Structure 1
Amino acid sequence: MDIYLPIAEVSVNAPLLVALGALVGFISGLFGIGGGFLMTPVLVFLGIPPAVAVSSMANHVAASSMSSVVAYGRKRAVDFRMGGVLAAGGVVGALVGVELFRWLRLVGQADLVVSVSYLIFLSVIGGLMLTESLGAVLRRRRGEPPPPRRDRRPPWLYGLPLKMRFPSSRLYISAIPPLALGAFVGVLSAIMGVGGGFVLVPAMVYILRMPARVVVGTSLFQIIITTAMTGVLQAGRNQTVDIVLATLLLAGGVLGAQYGARASSRFRAEELRAILALIVLLVGLRMGLGVFVEPDEPFILMSGMG
């Protein structure tokens, strides 16, 4: 059953979009990410303009993340104070990112920047995650002890001003690093249509040194606020949010996220990171190919932009 998307100006199969939303929601709950990094390229492959795909995904990511946070909150695996600080930075980053995205559309470079951003960020982060996780899996299978952890209290992290206590994470650190991370993720959310969990989760573990048990839930909590703000700003400033598209994705995403959060406890952490790294690499490379492969139709007509 095809349905017409008024903002994207294309017809798509409605049940297929609902199923894709459920799949991405499941991945979101399983790995603690927004899932936008996976769904945005899929929407582009289906013929939806990148600007509309990026903007509409923010609503899907926010709803899927909210569904997952409910499940993690029941297990007391969310640091709401840390999530709030990250989200405060995310709101500022979203404001900057939406204005930057508007400027890129006006100069006709938005599609190129989206593709190159996916190629660079997903390839680099996916490669680093895969190397680290495969090393952990191999050490465990060989019976080797894990490498000694570095100083859990790096001087630069604990020497900054504006210190705050985060009881759930058992940390007493400056609010500046979480704010900066949140702002960076907010810009990515506006430019790439992602929640930023693929950046935030490793950063929370290796930079902020948060306990693994609260990382996923806290990341998803931050994603809710940042992507919700991004969606509102994109709709108001760029008029690129397709409500019909977002609704179809939400229908499957909320349900899939619940099952993903429940399934996360069945896997080892290093195995989850290895699977996620492979997905990140494949999506980044596939999206980036569009930059170098000559299209079938080099010249197309684009609708006017306000």
Structure 2
Amino acid sequence: MEVGVFGFVVAGLVVGFIVGMTGVGGGSLMTPILLWFGINPAAAVGTDLLYAAVTKSGGVLVHGRQKNIDWRITGWLTLGSVPAAALTLLFLHSLGSNLEALNALIKHALGFVLLLTALAVLFKHKLLAFAHRHAGDHYHLKGSSLNSLTVLTGVALGSMVALTSIGAGALGTVALFVLYPFLATRRLVGTEIAHAVPLTLVAGLGHASMGNMDWHLLGYLLCGSLPGIYLGSHLSGRIPDGVLRPCLAVMLFSIGYKLVF
């Protein structure tokens, strides 16, 4: 096996392992690693999107059998995210002839979303505590207002995911926790994964149609990530969350800062 191929398989193994242990979306880790390997930003984003669609499809099957998915919430999110992703892809397609501008835009957007993801990872418990503390007061919306806000959340996630491949994991989960504080954690996680699959699939196929895809690379990443997720899931909880989460946040923040500045 060539050194480069071996490196991609190991990258998939490491990212899958961390995702299995922490639940943090693979895009926030995989896309920066692909940039480090010298993959251009557009191809890194496109490849990672289909990588996420494949890996999270297995999660949907498991959560679906366990009835951990709220399909109504998934529908409202998708109503906003998929059209937003399509519009973002159209905008990126308009820049297709200017690859330098396209890659610069994706690189800087990726940096900003990584900074947001780092903050979401670091302050997740504080945000959850706030949501539960104020779940019954005037801040919490209901009915059509809550549905509208869920669609708007989907719009924001769809734009971020299509542009950077990041957002449907850590940011999407935190957003759902804030919007639906009474929903059980396992159902929120399952709902986020169910929403991420069609979003990443549409965005990934859109990037593939623009040539932003490396199919061989995708295969190498999946060869490593699938066993990595299995191992990480079984070791989840062995490392204290108070140690793992800050380390992960610092790493994401450092990468994001470097990409932006």
Query: Shorter-chain TM-score category?
Result: 0.7 to 0.9
> 2:33 corresponds to which residue?
42
Return the match for 2:14 from 3, 14, 23: 23
Return the match for 1:219 from 192, 197, 206: 192
Larger helix fraction of residues:
2
Q: Measured at CA, do residues 193 and 158 of structure 1 come closer, stay the same or move farther in structure 2, by a change above 3 Å? A: closer
1:235 aligns with 2:208: yes
Structure 2 SS opposite 1:78: coil
CA contact (8 A) 1:83 1:222 kept: yes
1:183 aligns with 2:155: yes
Q: Distance in 1 between matches of 2:107 and 2:116?
A: 14
Within-5 A mapping of 1:116-127: 116-127=108-119
Which amino acid in structure 1 is aligned with residue 170 of structure 2? F
Which amino acid in structure 1 is aligned with residue 85 of structure 2? A
Q: Distance in 2 between matches of 1:249 and 1:93?
A: 27
Q: Compute the displacement of 1:76 (Å).
A: 4.2
Which amino acid in structure 2 is aligned with residue 152 of structure 1? A
1:72-116 Cα deviation digits (max 9, x unpaired) = 445543333323332332211220121122234434322222222
Q: Compute the displacement of 1:199 (Å).
A: 1.2
Q: Distance in 2 between matches of 1:71 and 1:123?
A: 31
> 1:110 corresponds to which residue?
102
> 1:298 corresponds to which residue?
none
CA contact (8 A) 2:89 2:162 kept: yes
Q: Compute the displacement of 1:242 (Å).
A: 1.4
Return the match for 1:196 from 168, 176, 184: 168
> 1:62 corresponds to which residue?
53
What TM-score comes out, normalization by structure 1 length? 0.72
Q: Distance in 2 between matches of 1:193 and 1:16?
A: 21
Total equivalences in the alignment: 258
1:247 aligns with 2:219: yes
Which amino acid in structure 1 is aligned with residue 135 of structure 2? R
Q: Distance in 2 between matches of 1:129 and 1:152?
A: 21
Question: Which range moved further: 40-49 or 147-156?
Answer: 147-156
What RMSD over aligned residues (CA atoms) do the two structures have, in Å?
3.0
CA contact (8 A) 1:120 1:284 kept: yes
> 1:143 corresponds to which residue?
none
What TM-score comes out, normalization by structure 2 length? 0.83
Q: Measured at CA, do residues 205 and 13 of structure 1 come closer, stay the same or move farther in structure 2, by a change above 3 Å? A: same
| Structure 2 alignment gaps of length 5 or more | none
> 1:96 corresponds to which residue?
87
Q: Measured at CA, do residues 255 and 63 of structure 1 come closer, stay the same or move farther in structure 2, by a change above 3 Å? A: farther
Larger strand fraction of residues:
1
Of structures 1 and 2, the one scoring higher in RCO (CA 8 A, sep 6+) is 2
Q: Distance in 2 between matches of 1:62 and 1:100?
A: 22
Q: Distance in 2 between matches of 1:59 and 1:207?
A: 28
